[in-house]
Structure 1
Amino acid sequence: MDNIKKQDLTSSKDDKSSDQEKPVSYTKDRVVTTIVLMLYMSASMPSVPLFTQYIHSRFEDFYRNGTNSSSRSPCTHSPCLRNTSEEADKLQVHIQQSTSYEVLKLSLSIQVPAIIVNVVVGSYSDHIGRKMLFILPLLGCICKYVGFMLVVKFHLHLNFIILGTLLDGFSGSTSTFLLATMAYAADVTKTQTTRTFAIVIADSSVATALALGQLMTGFLIEKLGYFYPSVINTSLILLATTIVIFCLTETVKKTEVKELSPVVHLKKVFGFYVNKSGVNKRFIFIASVIVFALLTIVNNGVNSVETLYQLGRPFCWDPEEIGYFSAYSTVFMTICGLVAIKLGSACVRVEILAVTGMFLQMGSLILEGLASTDAMLYLVPFVGSFSGVSVSVIRSVMSHMVDPQEQGAIFSSMATVDTLSGAIGSATFTFLYSATVDTIRGTAFLVMAAVIFMAAVTR
């Protein structure tokens, strides 16, 4: 009887201590992180199509020996025409190939430095707090846009854009910001079901913000050119930084970092995959991270070449139409993903939903690679529907397998894999697109579908 009382007293003390460690309001902090996430994503992610279209317009000017159209709205006399001559067709191929090369350089200048940062930054955050993970990429994004604005304003060489993107890369960029968001979501959730839904909500917020950002960016490019969208996006990032500094509650009780050596934190980050104490658990970790890597390779590949694909023949889309498509695609697939997780998880395991999503994504990529009309491209999100839940489920499963004090480390390992796979995906599929743009333009998407099939089989 005395033992029971002692256990009750001990548990009550533990409950009190755990209550003291919790933020004052989980609801408030979830709302704040969602607002910050949407501000960052709506401003940062549209930089990919924005930079791509700007570079494309610069090469149009270069190959046509025309006037500078880079600081104003895109030239209405584009060499990309749905019915054109053989000579104009060759010109368009040269423009696409040159743009692909520049986009690849920008992509690697962000992702390669981010690999180094993400190896240890998440593990350190388990001791010094999460706010640092939010602030670093916000400052990096500001540097990226400042560099771009200077190039647009003064018509500098395209290589000057790389200076800003390198600073963004050494801040960890988008992968570190997502690391912060996912680790924060893990801090304020306890069960796998709520954590999965919280991560899906975070991913859905990313998709919604991306849709709004690209829609507005496409509209602004069409009306105002390339400079003012960058100014607006930079203002949004500054607003997000202010909210993080003054409104976001720290969820980690700061402790002394006993070991500052990156090697120690490297072991913490990747120890999940080599730990011999639990063979079955290690196998699940390895299988999950392989699937995560394959999905990330494809998703980054799509981001790298899709805008170029839409700018070229036979579609010849303008910035506004690219923005409309991005908004429709992300909003539709976000709604499908939320419905699938909310309703489907009550009937089947979330892992089954993830595998189903992979097969849907495979079908959508095949359709996109074979598309020859606008209507076929607009069917791509419909076929993909809830394919976006696959990455969210994997994040949730891996997060739930580790202790609360290891959340930063596990998400750091995923962020490192994310950036490394992103660099591989961007480089591989941008190069493949450039090599096949004059033969079978959709080859890159067909190869991506094969990679997704490998991920589904592995899972």
Structure 2
Amino acid sequence: MDSVQEQPNVKSQETASNVHDKPKSYIKERVISSVVLMLFTCANNSSVPLFTQYIHSRYEDVYSNGTHSSSISTNKQSSCLANASEEAVEVEVRVQQSTSFEILKLCLCFQIPPVIVNMVVGSYSDHIGRKLLFVLPMLGCTCKYVGFILVIKYHLNLNFLLIGTLLEGFSGSTSTFLLANMAYAADVTKTHATRTFAIVMTDSSVSIAIALGQVMTGFLIEKLGYFYPSVINTALILLATAIVIFGLTETVKKTEVKELSPVVHLKKVFGFYVNKSGDNKRSIFIASVIVFALLSIGLNGKGAIEILYQLGRPFCWDPVKIGYYGAYSTVFMTISGLVAIKLGSACVRVEILSVTGMFLLMGSLILQGLASTDAMLYSVPFVASISSVSIPVTRSVLSSMVEAHEQGAIFSSMATVETLCGAIGSTAFVSLYRATVGTMRGMTFLVIAAVVFMAAIMKIVVIVKSPRQPSYDIFQSPPEDQKAQTPDHNQYGTIPKGENNTPC
């Protein structure tokens, strides 16, 4: 491992030479990359309500002997409100089970391929250029929407959705797109600044885009059905792609990749967790990545079933209600997280805020699992409040513990863990929901709360262990920030985080 650890120093010098001489102003690059991020996030995350509600509507038609109206419009009232008989309840349970099975298949197609891609893509990104990492996921997302549009237009078998989703998965999907944003942010950022607040601020812009997409999608589904929202989202993705190709400045000169063996790149990505040292730094790394993994499992599981849960009894929400709730939940929790980080960090360590957020998230999941009225469900984001800081703080912990030349490797590591755990969480909790929807459909949220509780306990271990090594103060400014950075420093300043809002 020692030989592997020496290589980043050489690569750091190569990377510095690969990056163009930075201009005096980075406003143009930052604005364009932010616009691209907002467009992609808004369009891509809108596929969650679109796919879930369309599939649910298709199965309502099947089990209710209905027409193909689901492919055109959703003006009809949900069947779960129209009839409360025992037969109607049984039909609604079968609809939920069939829909959850289709979502499970989409999850596997969407989340398994990026695990392979993300293992090495971060380490290669300094040679192949940033634009390619932006464009590939957007083309994959376009394929997903084209497949969806064809299924709606011609009322094809739902299995055709798997083709476009699988193509998106092999493009690297959301995780690769976010990794491209991390690398590009590093190229156009001079200093580290306040890492945690920068991460949360970037998360906030992503959250706003998600909220806008959810509200827009809810209204469009209600008024126009599923076809036209899909066309609009495809247009947004193509617009973002054109902006990247013609408007985004390439910050890296393409060079030959000297080491093609993926083994070397895998060692760089995962060497943090196996490198032997005489202190507890490795144990903090491992504990932190376990926290990150558990949160990813829980949040992906929650995202996979939340809309399906709202469509079923006793809520029977329509697309507009689902859109409103998604926007309200996202915006409220984002604002709460920003306020907590900005004001609370002056009084307590941000790690304490992170643990508090996890316990609040656990409470909100219990409430969500036991909810029986709309009012109880609307109070879930209020209880969760500052839980949105938990993952950004964990990212910041891992990022702050490594040197500047190791940032690409640590981000690839997190992307791989997040994608793999997303697949595990989606598969496990969608399967659990499918098995318990006829008995206690809220059981899945209670189990997710137990996973979050384990993450909180592990986080407490990190807090207790980290102060014992002052040199590894997890929020100490890295060396490159203690001196005014020159254009030769390649620092990953702002880190956009995926909300794990995928078709899963």
Normalising by structure 2, what TM-score? 0.84
Name stretches of at least 5 consecutive residues in structure 1 with no aligned partner: 1-15
Q: Does 1:335 align with 2:329?
A: no
1:183 & 1:285 partners in 2: Cα distance?
22
One-letter amino acid of the counterpart of residue 295, structure 1: L
1:39-78 per-position Cα deviation (integer Å, ceiling 9, x unaligned):
1110001101110110011101111111102321125143
- Where does residue 289 of structure 1 map in the other structure? 289
The structure-2 alpha-carbon separation of the partners of 1:367 and 1:326, relative to structure 1 and needing over 3 Å to count, comes to same
Q: Which has the higher contact order (CA 8 A, sep 6+)?
A: 2
Matched ranges for 1:160-309 at <5 A: 160-189=160-189, 194-252=194-252, 254-277=254-277, 279-309=279-309
Quick check: 1:421 aligned with 2:421? yes
Amino acid aligned to 1:361: L
**Whole-angstrom CA distance in 2 between matches of 1:19 and 1:148:** 39
Cα deviation for residue 248 of structure 1 reads 2.6
Distance in 2, Cα, partners of 1:429 & 1:76: 30
Map of 1:4 onto structure 2: none
Q: What is the root-mean-square deviation of aligned Cα atoms in Å? A: 2.0
Distance 1:85 1:17 in 2: 71
Residues 75 and 223, structure 2, Cα contact 8 Å, conserved in 1: no
Uncovered stretches (5+) of structure 2, i.e. residues with no partner:
1-15, 460-504
Q: Which residue of 1 aligns with 2:366?
A: 366
Distance in 1 (CA, whole Å) between partners of 2:435 and 2:405 is: 47
Q: In structure 1, how many angstroms separate the alpha carbons of the residues matched to 2:237 and 2:177?
A: 12
What secondary structure is seen at the aligned counterpart in 1 of 2:69?
coil
Is the 1:21–1:253 Cα contact (8 Å) retained in structure 2?
no
Structure-1 separation of matches of 2:256 and 2:17: 19
Residue number in structure 1 paired with 2:101: 101
Cα deviation for residue 337 of structure 1 reads: 1.1
Residue number in structure 1 paired with 2:55? 55
Match of 1:12 in 2: none
Whether 1:157 and 2:146 are equivalent positions in the alignment is no
- In structure 1, distance between residues paired with 2:138 and 2:278: 38
CA distance in 1, matches of 2:187, 2:196: 13
Partner of 2:466: none
CA distance in 2, matches of 1:99, 1:18: 48
Residues 34 and 278 of structure 1: CA distance in aligned 2, closer, same or farther (over 3 Å) = farther
Contact 1:134–1:180 (CA under 8 A) maintained in structure 2: yes
1:336 maps to a residue whose letter is S
Q: CA deviation at 1:87?
A: 0.7
Query: Counterpart of 1:456?
Result: 456
Question: Match of 1:436?
Answer: 436
Give the corresponding residue for 1:347: 347
Query: How far does residue 405 in structure 1 lie from its aligned partner after superposition?
Result: 2.7
Q: 1:125 to 1:423 in 2, by over 3 A?
A: same
Residues 58 and 181 (structure 1), Cα distance of their counterparts in 2 relative to 1, 3 Å cut: same
1:114-157: per-residue Cα shift (whole Å, max 9, x none)? 11111111111133333322211111100100010000000110
User: Could you tell me which residue of structure 2 aligns to residue 412 of structure 1?
Assistant: 412
Shift of 1:25: 2.6
Q: Write out per-residue CA displacement over residues 10-62 of structure 1, whole angstroms, 9 at most, x where no aligned residue.
A: xxxxxx99997445433333322221111111000110111011001110111
Retained in 2: the 8 A contact 1:82–1:313? no
Q: Describe the shift of the 1:170–1:441 C-alpha distance in structure 2 as closer, same or farther (beyond 3 A).
A: same
Cα displacement string for residues 369-411 of structure 1 (whole angstroms, at most 9, x for unaligned residues) = 1110000111011111111111111112212222323222211
After TM superposition, give the deviation of residue 309 of structure 1 in Å: 0.3
Task: Give the counterpart letter for 1:138 in structure 2.
Answer: M
The change in CA–CA distance for 1:407 and 1:254 in structure 2 (over 3 A counts) is farther
Cα deviation for residue 272 of structure 1 reads 1.3
Aligned partners of 2:431 and 2:107: how far apart in 1?
A: 12
* Identity across the alignment (%): 74
The number of equivalent residue pairs is 444
1:122 aligns with 2:117: no
The corresponding residue for 1:324 is 324
Measure how far apart 1:348 and its partner are. 2.0
Cα distance 1:338–1:27, how it changes in 2: closer, same or farther (>3 A)?
A: farther
Measured in 2, the distance between the counterparts of 1:352 and 1:191 equals 26
